[in-house]
Structure 1
Amino acid sequence: MEAGETRGMREAERERTPPPGQESLRHRAARVLEEHAEEIVEDYERRLERAQSLLLSGEGASRDELLEQARRLLRLVAEALRGRERPELRVGEEISRNQEAAGEPLSHPPDESFRAGLELSKAALERVLGELDLSGEPPGEVLRLSLRVQEAIMDHTAREAMVSHVDYLLAKLTEVQAEERRRLSRELHDRLAHSMALVAQSLELHEALASSDPETARQKLQRAAEAARRSVEAARNLARELRGSEASQGLELALQNLLEATVPAGVRTEISFSGDEEHMPDHVRDQLYMILREGIRNAVAHSETKALVLEVAVNPEEVRAAVTDHGKGFEASSEHEGVGLSSMRERTQLLRGDFRLRTSPGEGTRVEVRIPLGR
């Protein structure tokens, strides 16, 4: 950059920054944000603690990273008040900048960040209005300043939250797709590979014994036919489970079909369904089906239960569901939470719902889900 151009930029900067005695209300507010940034951030942290914000739960960005984001945001707001706001970034640049500044992508719904943005706005405005002498300022100007501070904070909060959350969803989508491929591989092996191997073995024995022992050969042929029928039925059941659109034809029917297809004959099943499915948007119904499907699979695979109860209750405000088994249970801790339970928890959280696990050794397991439906 040429020396003359540098001097010109400095002169323009001095023109935008009036002497202290002639500062505009916005410039004075910017100075308060800069000089009292630490007090504002401390107030912000206390507000989040009182609100029991998920941002302080230890998932995703650490507390220190979260507070550093708040400091950076206050600097950006001060720049905006002085008229130095940067031009809008392109989406790719915004994603790159956000990843560098904010660390890990958000592992919580974006509305948690929006609530935190409001708390930062309150902390910043209380400090600005408390430090400035507003006795000679027109009320309209004070109102415009307050709105500008809140607008600047929420604008940056919204962009960072949404970009980071999209990044998180893309990462989770990749993870879920990989896990679904592994699950499908296991299902094909467990349900089909053994039966088809038995078909092949029985046919080979039939061919070998056809002349020397016709009766045994006939039995081997019957065994091959039975194994082939089981393979066809297993393939049909697997295809039925994998049809994601099945829930769109009715959640209750889809769950009944799921129980018939996945629960062994020796396990007693009970389903309780109340309320009108029409209260549920399509995406909620589909996700709830996948959550309950995972709960049923877990119970069948791990609990050694002889009874399985599935409950769903829908009303205009929310849907509640539970999967209960009377099996062996386990120690409820994050160390014992496998991919299936983690997937159920994450799907529930993405729907702004609550997920609860109740279990202990010898006492069975109950998984409860509550998803809000209110607009």
Structure 2
Amino acid sequence: MGNTKWWDIAVVSAAAILCLLLVANQARDRELVGAIVVIVVFVTVWFAIGRGQADGGRRATVAAALVIVLSGVGTAINPGMATIQVIAFPLLWYYAATLREAIVTNVLLALSVGIGYWSALGATLDDLLEATLVESISLAGSITLGLWISRISVESASRERLLVELRETQAQLAAVSRDAGALNERERLARELHDTIAQDLTGLVLLAQRTRRELVSGSPTVGETLDLLEDSARNALAETRSLVAASAPVALAEGGIRAALDRLASRFGRETGIVVSVAGETPPLDRDTEVVLLRCAQEGLANVRKHSAASSASLELTGDATSVTLIVRDDGGGFDPALDSDGFGLSGMRDRLTLVGGTLAIASAPGEGTSLTATLPRSAVLA
């Protein structure tokens, strides 16, 4: 409704057609001149006053009034000018702010043109009936078409608003998704850092302290401890590079999960002096499942190192048709699982398992050691 370029074309085209009709109908000179003047003023009103005044306003009211008057005057000069209604009726819909205003101005236009038509024909009773019939049909057609177009315009505007709201909602959902993705990535990195780099650094600190004691005491095993310190540092560097590259842990590069657990147990024993045994086998596992199991084993042994004061520990890996299970046991001092913990280890392990549909069970009591059981569903295991 508000595209002024097409309205410009419509107004100018209607004016040109009216002029051609007047010439074709061989209007008398005075009628021709008078009608052309009305047409020129009509076009001038559009470009000078009415153009761009869609949906009401003071200038739109003035333009509508002039359209009604000029249409009646032009038709009174020459009855062929009644054709001006083909553009006058739509212009009144264009200028109107409400449906009521549009209908009222359409009625006024029909009256103005009807009076002009009746006057031009001869002002007899028969002419009045003819003018009334013609204008009634014109008015009915204008109102019907106008209401239909207005309804389409309202529905179009409503759909446009809905589309804008949908786009805004999509943008908000995208922002929420990005935020959630960033949060999940931060949580993943926190778990990876805790399960790898933090534990490696803890081991390095303990080995450095052990080296210091051996140097002070002149222990002959200091060279072996230094080799172990270097090996641990290299392993931490490799894990860091693996984490940066977002690839699988270095420990899983050869031999799968069972070989990785054997190497983990051997290294842990050399660093801490705690004997760790490894037992059990599983069906073939996908790499993501192996990563989860290895991280659980690393976290379980990290807790043994920090809190248990154990002399031995074990890693037991089992699998069947429905699940795969890793059990980390130690003979240390144990603890009460019901008490709140301010550490990240066990909660991080539980979160990691939850992401793949797994569970973590803790069995412990003061003085009775600890058993951590990580279980993953069969769906995470390759057939």
Higher relative contact order (CA 8 A, sep 6+): 1
Q: TM-score by structure 1 length?
A: 0.49
Q: TM-score by structure 2 length?
A: 0.48
